[in-house]
């Protein structure tokens, strides 16, 4: 059976996460339903990561084994046709080797978190960014984030429901950029690592909010990390601003 890699973009607002569920809409369910319109007995698709309810993606990657050796261009168009009207799109599709795996072949994952810092309610960005009304100090957030770079025990920033065998992960990058937006500031936080714990990124962002708002000094991020205690973490940031931006492979599958 030929194997295909799919790059998937989606707005997570109407979904209860990536993973297929019996009673609630999911991104996986939407893609598999579209595929079932093209072939019968389509097997379960495997993804690079399982995003939570309300989380978005620019570059989720999954793979599927199909019966027909489709032309990739035609297959992408056919899937997109049957995905309508859901807010999901196939933005890239490649034929890959049988041993290639969307999750296990991945080298790293990049998440982006978007914060709109302004007082006026969000209109166009509602559900697509976290609105924080109080002013945030960007340099303080950068200083606090720097303590998390490298290999650490991230128990503090790990969901109690996390099923990973170890809380030890290596964060390769946390960068914080900002730019003026309509009536405020758009803050974009990029987090890069080979893999993440459940809720790790949102826990980090929610805790950095404490630093940016002045409730914590940057060194408090280091104290929270060293504590290895979930109660030392700040509140978990909402899913609205989180995007799975890119999954990288070697050789690279998508541009």
Residues 129 and 117 in one domain: yes
For the segment 97-111, the average pLDDT, to the nearest whole number, is 97
The helix or strand, by DSSP H or E, that contains position 203, with its residue range, turns out to be helix 200-212
Is 238 exposed, middle or buried, given 0-12, 13-18 or 19+ CB atoms closer than 10 A?
middle
* Residue 209 pLDDT grade (very low, low, confident, very high; cuts 50, 70, 90): very high
Residue located via tokens 């899913």: 239
With a cut of 90, say whether residue 43 has pLDDT above it. no
Token couple for 62: 């999954």
With a cut of 90, say whether residue 227 has pLDDT above it. yes
Q: Looking at the domain assignment, is residue 251 inside a domain?
A: no
**What is the pLDDT, as a whole number, of residue 42?**
85
* Residue 59 pLDDT grade (very low, low, confident, very high; cuts 50, 70, 90): very high
Residues 88 and 130 in one domain: no
Residues 38 and 96 in one domain: yes
With a cut of 90, say whether residue 255 has pLDDT above it. no
Annotated catalytic residue within 23, 41, 52, 209: 52
CATH code of residue 239: 3.30.70.660
Residues 154 and 79 in one domain: no
- pTM for the predicted model, two decimal places: 0.96
The range of the structural domain enclosing residue 93 comes to 3-105
Residues 99 and 130 in one domain: no
Distances (CA, A) of 63 to 44, 197, 237, 254: 9, 22, 30, 13
Residues 78 and 145 in one domain: no
Spatial distance between the Cα atoms of 108 and 247, rounded to a whole number of angstroms = 6
Last residue of a domain, one of 105, 123, 150: 105
DSSP designation for 116: E
**What is the pLDDT, as a whole number, of residue 41?**
87
Residues 49 and 153 in one domain: no
Residues 87 and 117 in one domain: no
Number of structural domains (the chain) is 2
For the segment 155-174, the average pLDDT, to the nearest whole number, is 95
Q: Looking at the domain assignment, is residue 254 inside a domain?
A: no
pLDDT digits (tens, 9 = 90+) for 236-248: 999 999 999 999 9
Please confirm, yes or no, whether 97 is among the known catalytic residues.
no
Residues 77 and 166 in one domain: no
Last residue of a domain, one of 75, 105, 135: 105
Residues 117 and 240 in one domain: yes
Residues 121 and 239 in one domain: yes
């Amino acid at each position: 059976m030929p194997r295909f890699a799919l790059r998937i973009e989606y707005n997570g607002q109407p979904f209860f996460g990536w993973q297929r569920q019996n009673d609630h809409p999911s991104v996986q369910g939407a893609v598999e339903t579209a595929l079932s319109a093209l072939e019968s007995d389509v097997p379960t698709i495997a993804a690079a990561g399982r995003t939570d309810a309300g989380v978005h993606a620019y570059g989720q990657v999954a793979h599927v084994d199909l019966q027909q050796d489709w032309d990739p261009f035609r297959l992408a168009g056919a899937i997109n046709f049957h995905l309508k009207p859901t807010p999901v799109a196939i933005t890239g599709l490649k034929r890959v080797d049988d041993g290639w795996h969307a999750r296990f072949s991945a080298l790293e994952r990049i998440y982006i978190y978007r914060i709109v810092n302004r007082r006026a309610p969000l209109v166009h960005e509602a559900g697509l960014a976290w609105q924080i009304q109080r002013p945030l100090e960007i340099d303080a957030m950068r200083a606090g984030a720097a303590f998390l770079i490298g290999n650490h025990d991230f128990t503090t920033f790990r969901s109690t429901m996390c099923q990973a065998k170890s809380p030890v992960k290596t964060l390769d990058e946390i960068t914080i950029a900002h730019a003026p937006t309509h009536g405020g500031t758009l803050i974009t936080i990029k987090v890069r690592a080979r893999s993440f714990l459940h809720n790790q990124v949102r826990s980090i962002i929610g805790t950095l909010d404490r630093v940016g708002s002045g409730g914590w000094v940057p060194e408090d991020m280091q104290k929270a990390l060293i504590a290895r205690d979930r109660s030392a973490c700040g509140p978990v940031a909402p899913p609205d601003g989180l995007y799975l931006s890119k999954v990288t492979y070697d050789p690279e599958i998508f541009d």
